[in-house]
Each structure stands twice: as C-alpha cells, then as structure tokens.
Amino acid sequence: MKPRALAVAVTLSGLLLGGCASPLANKTADAAAIHTIEQNARLARYNFDGEVRVKAIRLPGKVESMVEGDVIGEVAKSFSLELRGAVDMSKSRVEMTPTFRFSRPNAETWLRLPMLAELNTLTLWVDASVLDLAIPVLRGEHKGKYVMFQAPQDKVKKLPIDAVLAELPQVAKNIYAAVDSKAYTFQPLDEAARQAGASYRIRLTLDPLAEAKMSKQAVQELLQLARRHAGEHQKEVEEFATAVGPLLDASQEELQTSSQTDLLVSRSGKLLGVSELREFSVPKEKELAVTVASTVRLSNHEQPVFSMQPTANNVVSFTELQPPSWLGGKRPADDEEEAVEGDDEAPLDEAALAAEAAEEAAAAAPVVKKPAKAAKAAKPVAKRKPKPVARAQ
C-alpha cells in the first residue's frame, strides 16, 4: 500500500473508531441527556464559572403607567450574580464564590463572599473579610482568616452522610428519567457550543405542568432517600412528607415556572456547560413575568483547582469570635471602665478586715433589752378633817 493511501486509511479508521467510542453514539436525545447528567454527578470533579441575570421583565399595565420608560426593567437587568468555584465529591468538598454585582454606565459596585463546604463533616469556611468594617476582629487579630462554622462532630458521626451522597447520582438519574422523552431534543451546535468544544447540544424544554411534575418527582426521590437512611427517625420523616405535599402544591399555585435548558456535551459524554432560560410567572397576575438567563461552564475535569486552603493557622472558629457591640458584644470602652472602677478600691489589710468582720458580727447579734423597773407604789392620801361649821347663836 502506498504511503498516501495508508495515511488516508489510518485517518478514516481513526474517525470511525472515534465515532464508535462515544458513549452517546446512537442514543436518543433523552437517553443521551440522562446518561450525561448521571455521569456528571457520579464523576463530579471539575471547576465551574457562570452568570445569572434578568433577561426580560413583563409588568402589569397599571405598574408601567406609574414609571417613565422601562425603569424597573433597566434596574433589574443591572443586577447580576456571578459564580465560580470547584467540585470534588471524592473529597466531599464544594467551593463557591458568588459575586453580587450592580453595573451601570460609569457606575459599578459588587460584593463577594467566598466559601468552602466539606459535606461529610458539615463544615463551612467563609472568607468574611467583606464584613470587616462591621466586625472589628476581622480587621484586627483575625485579619485574613477564614471563619469556620461546624456542626458538633459527635452528632455528625452518627449521620449517614457518605451513604446519602453516594446515592445522589442515581437520584438525579431518576428525576430526569421521569420527564417525558419528547421534552428532549438534539439541537444544531451554536457558537457557544463550538467555543466550549462540544459535540452535542441537547435541549430540555419544560412547560409549567412539566416543571410541576418534575418538582414533585424530585421531592419524592429525596423523601425515599431520607426513608432509606432515617433509622430511628422514621416518624419525623413521615411527618415531614405529610406536610411538604400541601406546601409544594400551594407554592405552585402562587408561582409557576417554565424553562429551556441546553446541555453542551463532549464526544466522550462529559458535560461542558449549561445554558438556561427560565420564566417565572404569577397565575393571579397574568401580566407579570420575569425571565432569568443563566450560563455555567465546566472545566478542569478530574483535576479541579481550589482557591481556598484552610489550615490551622488561617482559620478561626465562629464560636471564638467576640461579637461586635451592635450584636451585644463588649466595647473596648467597657473593659476600660471596669479597670478604672477596680483601681478606685484600695486593698484592705488583715486588721481592717478583722475590724470590719467584728462590726458586722456585732450588728448582726440580737439586742437584749433590760427588764423595766417596777413602778413605785402610790402614797396614801391623808384625809383632811372637816372644818367646824359655825352655828348661829
């Protein structure tokens, strides 16, 4: 075989083998989406970044007539939530740094709160330096330290956290498998999909009824998971299950959602990104609706990079923090006043203490009254002799 023909044969065979190697080959849209979601939950080790913002807002006519132009819509679109972080479920760790941003032409402000959770120990580390003006110790002796919130570990060890986490991929699979298969469709690759390096773009479209059904399915799956691991707390789980049904129905009557979600998937079946449009509407106010757009990009599969690295030297427990005065803590002036008051009292010597004790004992002793003197007997009164009365001669 000529070298050129050999090269063509090798190239063609590589393409054919590559196509056959895809776990999504010959799968329907629903099967491909469910497989991708389950594997992403089972092999959850990656970095992520994304954004959530209001794309459109529809207001009742009576509200629009009260303001000039689309002021409310413009204000709503000025806010956004940016997300970045890392996931490594093999270590039960999830890092997230939300950034709340308000941006207008020549005006911008933002608030960032990095946090790291260790799920199997119910521990949360927070970089709370954004609050250092309100909590003085965070800019003093504990400057630059992460604040740790941790559940009592003796109680955590009794919880089946690892077993619950291990079942979450199957729970996710069951939830999406309960959706009507017609809701899943393959879509042509768009520019965002090509930039992400995706080979498949799978869309899931849910109307309000399908969203409500999916929400109920999610609740049922989580309740079944709780029942399997409740142990001696079965009664509490059943009480919660009885109460959550009516609450879910009531919430769906007050607020409805519909969504269009695109999954960007690689040839090997890895989830590379998610883009979604979700509309929130109020049935009682048919003219009121808000559409939220969100995008999430996944990277560094199997090699996630974490920004926060808590150690014994850069962590302070929340229980060790002295709360600021506005939360009922002591002010520095309070300590100074107590010190000054203590200096005004001169120490007493032993003689003075003994004298003071004697005085106290004497004051506490009962008072003995002397008996009253007997009253003197009254002297008898001498009778006077009557004077002689002169008689007439």
Cα Rg for the chain, rounded, in angstroms?
Answer: 41
Q: Is the pLDDT confidence value at 68 over 50?
A: yes
What average pLDDT score do residues 133-157 get? Answer: 89
Angle at 97 between CA 91 and CA 103, to 5 degrees: 165
Rounded-to-10 torsion of CA 321, 326, 332, 338: -110
What average pLDDT score do residues 198-217 get? Answer: 96
Residue 15: predicted pLDDT: 46
Q: Is the pLDDT confidence value at 379 over 60?
A: no
- Residue 136: pLDDT band by 50, 70, 90 thresholds? confident
Which helix (DSSP H) or strand (DSSP E) does residue 256 occupy?
Answer: strand 256-265
Cα–Cα distance for residue pair 198/201, rounded to 1 Å: 7
Q: What stretches of 157-308 show up as alpha helix (H) in DSSP?
A: 161-177, 191-196, 208-229, 234-254
For residue range 19-45, what is the model confidence (pLDDT) as tens digits?
Answer: 456 889 999 999 999 999 999 999 999
Residue 20: predicted pLDDT: 54
Please tell me which residue, 10 or 179, carries the higher pLDDT value.
179
Cα–Cα distance for residue pair 309/306, rounded to 1 Å: 7
Which helix (DSSP H) or strand (DSSP E) does residue 34 occupy?
Answer: helix 29-42
Count Cβ atoms below 10 Å from residue 216 Cβ, excluding itself.
Answer: 16
Residue 385: predicted pLDDT: 54
Cα–Cα distance for residue pair 273/264, rounded to 1 Å: 5
What average pLDDT score do residues 146-152 get? Answer: 95
Residue 17: predicted pLDDT: 45
Count Cβ atoms below 10 Å from residue 283 Cβ, excluding itself.
Answer: 12
Are the beta carbons of 46 and 196 closer than 8 angstroms? no
Cα–Cα distance for residue pair 232/98, rounded to 1 Å: 38
- Residue 334: pLDDT band by 50, 70, 90 thresholds? low
- Structure tokens of 68? 């000039």
Q: Is the pLDDT confidence value at 375 over 80?
A: no
Residue 329: predicted pLDDT: 60
Are the beta carbons of 26 and 271 closer than 8 angstroms? no
Contacts of 313 (CB under 8 A, 6+ apart): none
For residue range 241-270, what is the model confidence (pLDDT) as tens digits?
Answer: 899 989 988 898 899 999 999 999 999 999
Q: Is the pLDDT confidence value at 393 over 50?
A: no
What average pLDDT score do residues 318-336 get? Answer: 67
Cα–Cα distance for residue pair 279/208, rounded to 1 Å: 9
Q: Is the pLDDT confidence value at 300 over 80?
A: yes
Calculate what percentage of the chain has a pLDDT beyond 90: 57
Residues in the chain: 393
Q: Is the pLDDT confidence value at 18 over 50?
A: no
Are the beta carbons of 296 and 69 closer than 8 angstroms? no
- Structure tokens of 207? 């109307």
Residue 130: predicted pLDDT: 87
- Residue 71: pLDDT band by 50, 70, 90 thresholds? confident
Contacts of 134 (CB under 8 A, 6+ apart): 324, 326
DSSP letter assigned to residue 138:
G
What average pLDDT score do residues 319-337 get? Answer: 65
